[in-house]
Amino acid sequence: MDLNEYSAIADKLNVELRGLTTKLIQNYKNEVNKNGETLKTLPFYHGFYFIGRNGKLLSDHHKMYIKINNSSQSDAYYSLDDKELTYLTYDSELGFKVPTPVSEESLHILFLVSEFYLDVMHIVGLSGLLKASVTDTTNAIALLKEDLAEYLQ
């Protein structure tokens, strides 16, 4: 293969890849538009926990930013107020973390990683997030009943 042949193939592949990530971004935006206001209210529901696809509690920053995946090296969060993906970076002059929205171009890159996209959609899609919280609480009740049965009589 020479460079001309490579370029012809790569150009076609890049066009196809861009089309796929554009569709993923549109699906993400549709879910945010549909569920953004509801997501914003969830921290105020007693007993609601943001549980990731992996069944683990997602960390949050001041109940305003939900980390996409605790095991991910990415510092990407979903901003409940701004209804968008954002990075939180520490500003030493201010002495606290400041949000930087994820650009459209960065979404194309981030959504190339299917696990990241699925983690994002788990949050903004709402249904999976609600089911995970119910499952987590149900499991906690069952564990308490099993482990502490003698004390619950």
31-87 pLDDT per residue, tens: 999 999 999 999 999 989 999 999 999 998 888 999 998 766 678 999 999 999 999
State the pLDDT at residue 149.
92
% residues pLDDT > 90 (the chain): 86
Give the residue, 72 or 96, on which the prediction is more confident: 96
* Pairing of β 84-91 and β 60-61: unpaired
State the pLDDT at residue 123.
97
Residue range 121-137, pLDDT digits in tens: 999 999 999 999 999 99
91 vs 107: CA distance, rounded Å? 23
Confidence of residue 116 (pLDDT cuts 50, 70, 90): very high
Helices (H) and strands (E) in the chain, counts: 4, 5
The tokens 């696809």 sit on which residue? Answer: 53
Pull the structure tokens for residue 91. Answer: 């500003």
Whether residue 119 has pLDDT greater than 80: yes
70 vs 49: CA distance, rounded Å? 14
Pull the structure tokens for residue 18. Answer: 């861009």
pTM equals 0.90
Query: How are strands ordered across the β-sheet holding 60-61?
Result: 60-61, 65-67, 76-79, 84-91, 96-101
Confidence of residue 7 (pLDDT cuts 50, 70, 90): very high
